[in-house]
Amino acid sequence: MGNGQGSTGNVIAAVCSFFIPGLGQLVQGRVLAAILWFITACIAGVLTWVLTLSLLPFGWFLVAILSCINAAVYRARH
């Protein structure tokens, strides 16, 4: 979609990944990365939910931020 860091495609992908980790990578055509980010977010969300006794399940949010950054700085290899 985009040509590198800061491109419109990467900004859209980053926004998508903020809401659903891996969605931005999927928009970029990176299916395996999308699946891995989503699974990581699910695991992190469950772990932090269990560890904090469901008071502060912040794991999903942390992975969403990392996934967002990953989508934003992605540069396709030509």
Give 18-73 pLDDT, tens digit per residue: 999 999 999 999 999 999 999 999 999 999 999 998 878 799 999 999 999 999 99
Q: What is the pLDDT of residue 4?
A: 61
Cα–Cα distance, 43 to 11 (Å, whole number): 26
23 vs 2 pLDDT, higher one? 23
Q: What is the pLDDT of residue 6?
A: 62
Cα–Cα distance, 58 to 60 (Å, whole number): 6
Rounded to two decimals, the pTM is 0.85
